[in-house]
């Protein structure tokens, strides 16, 4: 029987890329871990330059970060770049969707009134 040894390969820059994508989506390590059923410590480990996750976790990470596995691995450039500030705002707005319809309307009325007020102040 011939034994074939497969050299473990680490794709350069995986850890920092994972961290950057996580931050761009406005997620903490704990929040990303929760999305992929892993601990914050596991996410921190894989954000280390010297480690990368097994295939199943890699797929879960790509889905959670809304990128392809090729983008996560650095084989293709990431198509969509979101700023961390925008991502945090979107996460907060997603929470508004969980409110009852009357509360959602109240939040939107407040936002509309604030934006209109700022526009009037800017034109004076």
Each residue's pLDDT tens digit, 58-93: 999 999 999 999 999 888 888 765 566 777 787 788
At 77 the pLDDT is: 83
Question: Which CATH number covers residue 55?
Answer: 1.10.260.40
Contacts of 21 (CB under 8 A, 6+ apart): 65, 67, 72, 78
At 6 the pLDDT is: 46
> Which range of residues forms the domain containing residue 107?
84-123
Q: What is the pLDDT of residues 11-63, one digit of tens each?
A: 778 999 999 999 888 889 999 999 999 999 999 999 986 778 888 899 999 99
How many structural domains is the chain composed of? 2
In a domain, 4, yes or no: no
Residue 106 pLDDT grade (very low, low, confident, very high; cuts 50, 70, 90): very high
Do 117 and 89 fall within a single domain?
yes
Q: What is the mean pLDDT of residues 102-108?
A: 90
Identify the CA nearest to 64 among candidates 107, 35, 42: 35
Do 66 and 89 fall within a single domain?
no
In a domain, 115, yes or no: yes
In a domain, 78, yes or no: no
Do 63 and 95 fall within a single domain?
no
């Amino acid at each position: 029987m011939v034994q074939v040894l497969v050299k473990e390969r680490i794709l350069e820059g995986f850890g920092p890329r994972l961290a950057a994508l996580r931050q761009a989506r406005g997620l903490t390590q704990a929040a990303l871990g929760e999305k992929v059923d892993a601990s914050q410590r596991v996410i921190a480990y894989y954000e280390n330059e010297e480690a990368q996750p097994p295939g199943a976790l890699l797929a879960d990470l790509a889905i959670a970060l809304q990128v392809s596995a090729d983008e996560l691995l650095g084989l293709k450039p990431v198509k969509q770049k979101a700023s961390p500030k925008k991502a945090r705002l979107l996460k907060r707005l997603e929470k508004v969707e969980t409110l009852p319809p009357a509360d959602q309307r109240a939040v939107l009325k407040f936002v509309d009134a604030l934006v209109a007020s700022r526009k009037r102040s800017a034109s004076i």
